Amino acid sequence: MQGAALRPLPFGVGVAAGCRHGLHMPFAYYARLSAARQRIYRQSDAIQSLELPRGAAPGPRVAEIRTGLARGDRAAVRAAAQALVDALVAGYRVPKIRVRVLAKRPADGDGELHGLYEPDDAGTAARITVWMRTAARRDVVAFRTFLRTLIHELCHHLDYELYKLPETFHTEGFYKRESTLVNALLAEEGAAADPQRRLL
């Protein structure tokens, strides 16, 4: 897969922070990094969680993504994904990012590409691209897989814009940040559907 490698990546992916989920991402590459890049890696790894920004109220947007996927409605999924990302970046006070939702995932001998993050370049806004159908069977992607992919790519944006890291690495800390944010979003979706849950 070729893409705009706008910033150097440590893990040999030929796209800008392109992510193929389901493949084990070994941390052994750390030993091959320069001392300066190892410092960036350690900075990333030390950030273990990512809380929801105050006042974001993302539950309804998450529910809209679920509903759009269930209907196979790409326009609805894109609109809901953009609204969710807009709410999060506004809450974190970082630059906006455009979300594209395309149909069938690209695939090659290494597997299917789930998501792609392209940082801003010469005044062009940063962009997330996610796909909503599998490559082989063209099935609609499972809701949790889609949400995790979207948030994974957003976490690359936050590495640059919130944490001010010069590079975005797949570290254990990165995956923990992704997981805590996804879990918080799922909890918000449930609370939006059943407000009584907020009182428990």
What gap in Å lies between CA 138 and CA 124, rounded to an integer?
31
Residue 11, domain member (yes or no): no
**pLDDT value, residue 18:** 59
pLDDT for 102 equals: 95
Cβ burial of 30 (10 Å; 0-12, 13-18, 19+) is middle
Number of folded domains that form the chain: 1
pLDDT score, position 196: 54
Residue indicated by tokens 């609204």: 83
Give the pLDDT of residue 13.
Answer: 31
Question: Pairing relation of β-strands 115-118 and 97-104?
Answer: unpaired
In a domain, 19, yes or no: no
Could you report the per-residue pLDDT of 163-188, keeping only the tens digit for each? 999 999 999 999 999 999 999 999 99
Do 43 and 30 contact (CB within 8 A), yes or no? no
Q: Which of 8-17, 45-54, 99-108, 178-187 has the lowest mean pLDDT?
A: 8-17
* Residue 189 belongs to a domain: no
- Output the pLDDT for position 4: 31
Taking the C-alpha atoms of residue 62 and residue 46, their distance in angstroms, rounded to an integer, is 28
Residue 58 within a domain: no
Q: Please report whether residue 139 resides in a domain.
A: yes
Given a contact cutoff of 8 angstroms between Cβ atoms, the answer to whether 97 and 126 are in contact is yes
Mean pLDDT for 139-153 is 96
Q: Work out the pLDDT band at 22, boundaries 50, 70, 90.
A: very low
**What is the domain range of residue 121?**
28-51+94-182
- Per-residue pLDDT at 19: 61
As a whole number, the mean pLDDT across the chain is: 85
- pTM of this structure: 0.84
Domain assignment present for 100: yes
Cβ–Cβ under 8 Å, residues 101 and 2: no
Q: What percent of the chain has pLDDT over 90?
A: 68
pLDDT of residue 98: 96
**pLDDT tens by residue, 25-81:** 447 888 899 999 999 999 999 999 999 999 888 999 999 999 999 999 999 999 999
Q: Do 37 and 149 touch, CB atoms closer than 8 A? A: no
Closest CA to 3 of 163, 153, 161: 153
- Residue 7, pLDDT > 60, answer no
What element of type H or E holds 99? strand 97-104
Assess whether pLDDT exceeds 90 at residue 85.
Answer: yes
Instruction: Give the largest CA-CA distance in the chain.
Output: 51
- pLDDT value at residue 163: 97
Q: Is residue 187 part of a domain?
A: no
Average pLDDT over residues 85-101: 96
Examine residue 72 and state whether it is found in any structural domain, yes or no.
no
Query: 32, 74, 2: which is closest to 169 by C-alpha?
Result: 32
